[in-house]
Amino acid sequence: MIKSLLLLGSIIWFLLMFPGLAVFSYAQTTALNEWTWVGGSHSIPQLGNYGTLGVAAAGNLPGSRESSSTWVDKNGNLWLFGGLGYYSIAGPQFLNDLWEYTPSTGFWTWQGGPLFGNQSGAYGTQGVPSASSIPGGRSGAAHWTDANGNFWLFGGLGYDAAGNAGYLNDLWEYNVTASRWTWQGGSSLLTQFGNSYLDYGSTGSYGTQNVSASTNLPPGRSDAMYAVDVAGNLWLFGGTGYAASSSLGSFDDLWIYNTSSKIWTWVSGSQALGQPASYGSQGVPYDPSVHFPGSRWGGALWADNNGFLWLFGGIIGDLWKIDTASRQVTWVGGSPAGNAPGSYGTISVPAATNMPGARESFAHWADSKGNFWVFGGTGYDSSDNFGFLNDLWMFNPQSGVWTWENGSNSADLSGMLANYGTRGTPAITSEPGGLWLSMNWVDPQGNFWLYSGGATTNGTNGVIIDDLWIYQPLALTLQLQTITFSTLSDVLNTTASVPLSASASSGLPLSFVSNTPSVCSLSGSTAEIATSGTCSITAIQAGNSTYAAATPVTETFQVVTDFTVSVSGANSMTVNQGGPATFNFAVAPEAVTNFQNTVTLSYSSSPALPSGYRVTMTPTSIASGSPPTNVRLVLSTPAIAVQEQAPYHPTFRTTAPLAICLLLPIMGYLRQRAKQFSVLTVLIFLLSGAALLSLDGCGGSSSAPSGSPTSYEILVTATSGSLSHSSSVSLTVK
């Protein structure tokens, strides 16, 4: 009994003294659109409790930290590396310890790295895994998982092989199965740029834009924006570091790293620091040499499944889209101002006017449905107050609409926004406080996990905490809906408006967006025609608390300028066989000076022209912007082949039979008078008769020229979109 009481007393004392150590063994439950406080302390920074290397335990704890690298393995376990935080006895320092969290047990496992801070990297041989290799302590590194489940990290702010601290550009791979780090590229040593701590960096090598080379390497940086595309390649944008000019600032360069060839390519942006954004017209794609997002750090980069990158924030509240194929960039929305307040609207209600305020260093991720999520950071609330934020946003890239899903629309200025509730129990009133540089994961079930980060507690800003939260987004459980949009036919530019007909399978109302406002604008469910060109309309249904946002459907039609086709000059012509015929046609736009659409020209004949006839039409098309155009049609008929013939003798028709009739009795008479009528004489008479019969016209028909002239109807047709006009001429060939 006494031993039991002593044991119970020891457990109670342990929990009271170390409230953050034994909190992860709770069975986790989640509820839609509700936060659950899983564990950790919410009052003071916690030291790490490492336990035994490789052994999971309820008392293990990474400790308070920020800007760590995170991954999710194939088993759904959460991994954490480094960051700026507290190790076993002190902090904050740059860490390079490796941790694994198992959601099913709620236990942390110290899997590698030292339990001390500010440690140098052990690089080993490039490309060779080693049990002794490990990246140096760092924070703000880019990190991702490849198709094989291996973990990668690039750069960050931390320590090189010589113990110098600065902006790194080394590249590392961690094989989860083998528990081995491999230095895959980049520099192991930093260059000194100043005399102060952290005044080190690496300038890298840009090479030639859009040309892959093994010598290419981004300059060292931290807090860059990064995303992995559907092909498994890494895209890297911006961040903070040193340029070749030995100055410290923010980048605006865009890079791609091919994980198969292990080669970097500088895609776009400048090699110089501190580049201002150049916006252009909202919604219009531009070449990156003309308009570009500008230098920034601490924002977010996502990759969708359609070949686009999406860039948000980095103390600015703007949203950009980058086409990975064409490299064109589009300013999608948000304010160019660095202190833009948030426009929250109604919680859980998507709206085109919703927009998060300008912010930096926020948690972000993409869910299984392709939606992008943003939590917290430091930035501006709905009243334009700057502070720590705990608002949760979802962006649907299909509809282009933001939704404020959770949290406050006011910045955390006093540390009072956090409401922990009961550990392990979801509640609608539970929510983390405002955080920046926090770490996050998305598990295979789509739950969002949030750990530690910088906060404000009891009025003290910059305190690093160690609480762990889980959130289950409602968007992942919503019913699906589809949009049916009736096909739109081409119209003339004289048409005033075109009615739009579309519906959602959910029965919810739709909205329409004109993608080509210069050609057609919108008035409710009607497209108002402004000029000729391509009119593109998108039907949108943003969803509600029951239905997820539908995939937008776009219909296009041509607004075409009418035109005429007429014969210019003679509309009929008669030529002898072998002679040419030339016809002229006039093609002209109506009501405008120049053609506003391309016109294609063709011809046909009824009956079909015989073989050997040659037709030349100039031109065969009229380009958009051209003035009225003359079309020339030339037909060449083949010449008649004349054969040599004997003269025509019409008298032979009657004289030849008569001659033969006279020869026969003469031959009989001679036979009676001359007993010796020679065979030779008979032959002479027979040959004479044959000669008469063989004469041209003897018993045959005349070869004099004969036949009627042939007439053809030649039809010239001009086509533009759905418009088609024709004009015909007549050709007679003798």
**Per-residue H/E/C for 620-665:** CEECCCCCCEEEEEEEECCCCCCCCCCCCCCCHHHHHHHHHHHHHH
pLDDT score recorded for residue 458: 53
pLDDT above 90 as % of the chain: 63
Mean pLDDT for 245-252 is 88
CB atoms within 10 A of CB 494: 11
Helix axes 679-694, 652-673, angle to 10 degrees: 170
Contact yes or no for 371/475 (Cβ under 8 A): yes
Q: Under a CB-based contact definition with an 8 Å cutoff, are residues 481 and 541 in contact?
A: yes
Separation of alpha carbons 386 and 194, rounded Å: 32
In this prediction, residues 570-579 reach a mean pLDDT of 90
Task: Please tell me the distance from the alpha carbon of residue 531 to that of residue 537, in angstroms, as a whole number.
Answer: 15
Any idea which of 57-61, 105-109, 403-407, 548-552 has the lowest mean pLDDT?
548-552
Distance from C-alpha of 464 to C-alpha of 612, rounded to nearest angstrom: 90
Output the pLDDT for position 4.
37
Predicted pLDDT of residue 433: 87
Handedness of CA 682, 688, 691, 692 (dihedral sign): negative
Instruction: State the pLDDT at residue 647.
Output: 47
Cβ 304 vs Cβ 311: under 8 Å: no
- pLDDT for residue 101: 96
Q: What is the mean pLDDT of the chain?
A: 85
What distance lies between CA 498 and its chain's CA centroid?
30
Instruction: Please give the pLDDT value at position 361.
Output: 95
CA angle 12, 17, 19 (to 5 degrees): 85
What is the C-alpha to C-alpha distance for residues 149 and 130, in angstroms, rounded to an integer?
18
The DSSP symbol for 357 reads P
Q: Which of 181-185, 406-410, 557-561 has the lowest mean pLDDT?
A: 557-561
User: What's the rounded Cα separation, in Å, for the pair 321 and 288?
Assistant: 11
Helices marked H in 95-159 — which ranges?
none
Distance CA 175, CA 127 (A): 12
E strands along 494-628, which residues?
497-499, 502-504, 511-514, 520-523, 526-529, 533-540, 553-560, 563-567, 572-575, 580-589, 599-606, 614-618, 621-622
More confident residue, 459 or 80: 80
Interacting residues of 384 by C-beta distance below 8 A, sequence separation 6+: 339, 341, 357
CA nearest to 390, candidates 420, 368, 369, 366: 420
Distance CA 483, CA 7 (A): 64
- Res. 712: pLDDT tops 70: yes
Specify the DSSP class assigned to residue 105: T
For tokens 């008669």, the residue is: 574
- Find the range with the poorest average confidence among 7-16, 228-237, 428-437: 7-16
Assigned token pair, 637: 């008929």
- Across the range 695-708, mean pLDDT stands at 44
Rounded distance between C-alpha atoms, residue 174 and residue 113, angstroms: 12
- The helix or strand, by DSSP H or E, that contains position 462, with its residue range, turns out to be strand 460-471
Q: Which residue has the higher pLDDT, 462 or 216?
A: 216
Question: For residue range 652-687, what is the model confidence (pLDDT) as tens digits?
Answer: 444 444 444 444 445 454 445 444 444 444 444 444
For residues 189-214, average pLDDT: 92
Q: Among residues 200, 198, 236, which one has the least CA distance to residue 216?
A: 236
Reply yes or no on whether the pLDDT at 547 is more than 90.
no
User: How confident is the model at residue 706, as a pLDDT?
Assistant: 43
pLDDT band at 505; cut points 50, 70, 90 = very high
Give the CA angle between residues 51, 56, 58 to the nearest 5°: 75
Query: What CA–CA distance (Å, rounded) separates 722 from 491?
Result: 8
Share of the chain above pLDDT 70, in %: 84
The per-residue pLDDT for range 374-393, each reduced to its tens digit, is 999 999 999 999 999 999 99
- Whether the per-residue pLDDT at 649 is higher than 50: the answer is no
The string of pLDDT tens digits covering residues 517-538 is: 999 999 999 999 998 889 999 9
**Mean pLDDT score, 301-330:** 94
The two three-digit tokens of residue 498, written as one number = 């075109």
- 134 vs 387: which has the higher pLDDT: 134
pLDDT tier for residue 10 given thresholds of 50, 70 and 90: very low
φ/ψ of residue 681, rounded to 5: -65, -40
**pLDDT band at residue 456, thresholds of 50, 70 and 90?**
low
pLDDT score of 590: 84
| Contacts with 646 (C-beta within 8 Å, 6 or more apart), sequence order | 695, 696
What digits encode the pLDDT tens for the residues 48-61?
999 999 999 999 99
Q: Tell how strand 710-720 and strand 629-636 pair up.
A: unpaired
The CA distance from 404 to 390, in Å, is 11
Per the model's pLDDT, the better-predicted residue between 314 and 26 turns out to be 314
pLDDT, residue 455, reads: 75
Structure tokens at 6: 């002593």
Burial 695-727 (b: 16+ CB within 10 A, else e): bebbeeeeeeeeeeeeebebebebebbebebeb
Instruction: Answer for the pair 470, 36: CB distance below 8 angstroms, yes or no.
Output: yes
Tell me which range, 456-460, 574-578, 627-631, is most confidently predicted by mean pLDDT. Answer: 627-631
Token pair 């601290």 is found at 165
- Mean pLDDT to the nearest integer, 166-172: 97
CB of 300 within 8 A of CB of 312? yes
* pLDDT for residue 476: 58
* More confident site: 9 or 715: 715
Q: What is 393-429 written as a DSSP string?
A: EEEETTTTEEEEEES-SS-BSSS---B--STT--BTT
Beta strands across the sheet bearing 300-303: 300-303, 308-312, 319-323, 329-333
The torsion angles phi and psi of 573, rounded to 5 degrees, stand at: -160, 145
At 153, which helix (H) or strand (E)?
Answer: strand 151-159
pLDDT of residue 641: 56
Per-residue confidence band for 463, with pLDDT thresholds at 50, 70 and 90: confident
Quick one: pLDDT band at residue 258, thresholds 50, 70, 90?
very high
Contact in structure between 289 and 280 (CB atoms under 8 Å): no
Q: Give the residue with greater pLDDT, 24 vs 496.
A: 496
In this prediction, residue 414 carries a pLDDT of 64
Q: Is 679 helix (H, G, I), strand (E, B) or coil?
A: helix
pLDDT value of residue 386: 92
How confident is the model over 221-238, as a mean pLDDT?
Answer: 95
**pLDDT category of residue 457 using cuts at 50, 70 and 90:** low
Please state, in angstroms and rounded to a whole number, the distance separating the CA atoms of residues 385 and 380.
5
What pLDDT sits at residue 658?
Answer: 46
How far apart, in whole angstroms, are the C-alpha atoms of residue 487 and residue 696? 74
Residue 18: pLDDT band with limits 50, 70, 90: very low
Q: What is the pLDDT of residues 466-475, one digit of tens each?
A: 889 999 886 5
What does the angle CA 463 – CA 466 – CA 471 come to, to the nearest 5 degrees? 115
Neighbours of 591 (CB within 10 A): 10
CB 439 within 8 A of CB 80: yes
15-19, 195-199, 319-323, 428-432: which range is least confident on average? Answer: 15-19
Give the amino acid at 312. F
Before 610, cis peptide (omega within 30)? no
- How long is the chain? 734
Q: What's the pTM?
A: 0.66
Indicate if the pLDDT at residue 561 is higher than 90: no
Going by C-beta distance under 8 Å and a sequence separation of 6 or more, which residues neighbour residue 20?
39, 40, 41, 46, 61, 466
70-82: average pLDDT? 95
Helix (H) or strand (E) holding 310: strand 308-312
Q: What is the mean pLDDT of residues 554-583?
A: 91
Average pLDDT over residues 352-361: 95
Instruction: Tell me which residue of 162, 96, 161, 172 sits closest to 127, measured CA to CA.
Output: 172
558, HSE (Cβ side, Cα atoms, 13 Å): 10
Closest C-alpha to 533, from 490, 496, 485, 588: 490
Q: Is the pLDDT of residue 306 over 90?
A: no
